[in-house]
Amino acid sequence: DGGITQSPKYLFRKEGQNVTLSCEQNLNHDAMYWYRQDPGQGLRLIYYSQIVNDFQKGDIAEGYSVSREKKESFPLTVTSAQKNPTAFYLCASSIGRYTQYFGPGTRLTVL
Amino acid sequence: DQQVKQNSPSLSVQEGRISILNCDYTNSMFDYFLWYKKYPAEGPTFLISISSIKDKNEDGRFTVFLNKSAKHLSLHIVPSQPGDSAVYFCAASALSGTASKLTFGTGTRLQVTL
């Protein structure tokens, strides 16, 4: 089954801790993306990557970091510098510039 | 500065009738538009898209219309079914290298009633 997986589905973190969200895809897509959704809002782009070992900041990159060491994987680290990390995080991938396909999401809650 | 706007937070439609969801944008650099359907605590599911060189695209019960001069697009669902009840997001794409940066609206919650 081809698709995008995100783990874990729910994640709890204490204030001041870094946490890494996993995103894996077996669609052979070149581009991968991370979005954040807050209640009553649309999705906002955090980071995106067009190819392995390359990534660019999106609209709200502060307090986040990413890596792209393999085509299939694009993990997102939420650092302690992120002021309001509680949100629903969505990973997506695409072939080139067209339709993005999303994973099931990870809900992060800071305690 | 919200570049993609969905001004109706919610819409209720009877089963079998037409649902019309609207979206406005301000950035003339957007050249590709998409609609996604989303259930709570799940990832968005792609529905339909349209390139700026077209004014209409149809896929089964779903049709998207684009009016470039008005910077407006709409999604028509005919006939509406109870399973269509979800939040619908409009998204606009501007090319950035070989990837696309999507800008999303805030969503419209569609409720299809029996």
User: Which tens digit of pLDDT belongs to each residue from A11-63?
Assistant: 999 988 999 999 999 999 999 999 999 988 889 999 999 999 999 999 999 99
Supply the pLDDT for residue A4: 95
Q: Pick from A95, A61, A93, A94: which is nearest to A78 by CA?
A: A61
- Convert the pLDDT of each residue in A85-111 to its tens digit: 999 999 999 987 778 999 999 999 998
Q: Give the closest-approach CA distance of B2 to chain A in angstroms.
A: 10
Q: Do B42 and A105 touch (CB under 8 A)?
A: yes
Q: Which among B43, B46, B107 has the least Cβ separation from residue A99? A: B46
- Which chain A residue has its CA at the smallest distance from B103's CA? A44
Helices H / strands E in chain A, number of each: 0, 11
| Average pLDDT over all residues of chain B | 93
Q: What does the alpha-carbon distance between residue A98 and residue B32 come to, in Å, rounded to a whole number?
A: 8
Q: By a Cβ cutoff of 8 Å, what residues of chain B touch chain A?
A: 4, 9, 32, 34, 36, 41-46, 49, 89, 91, 93, 95-107
Supply the pLDDT for residue A1: 61
Supply the pLDDT for residue B16: 97
* Cβ-Cβ contacts under 8 Å for B60 (sequence gap 6 or more): none
Burial status of residue B9 (CB atoms within 10 A of its CB: 0-12, 13-18, 19 or more): exposed
pLDDT confidence of B39, banded at 50, 70, 90?
A: very high
Test the A interface: residue of B33, B46, B100 with most A CBs within 10 Å: B100
Q: Do B44 and A90 touch (CB under 8 A)?
A: yes
Supply the pLDDT for residue B98: 63
Q: What does the alpha-carbon distance between residue A18 and residue A32 come to, in Å, rounded to a whole number?
A: 22
With H, G, I as helix, E, B as strand and everything else as coil, classify residue B83: helix
Q: Which among A49, A97, A102 has the least Cβ separation from residue B44? A: A102
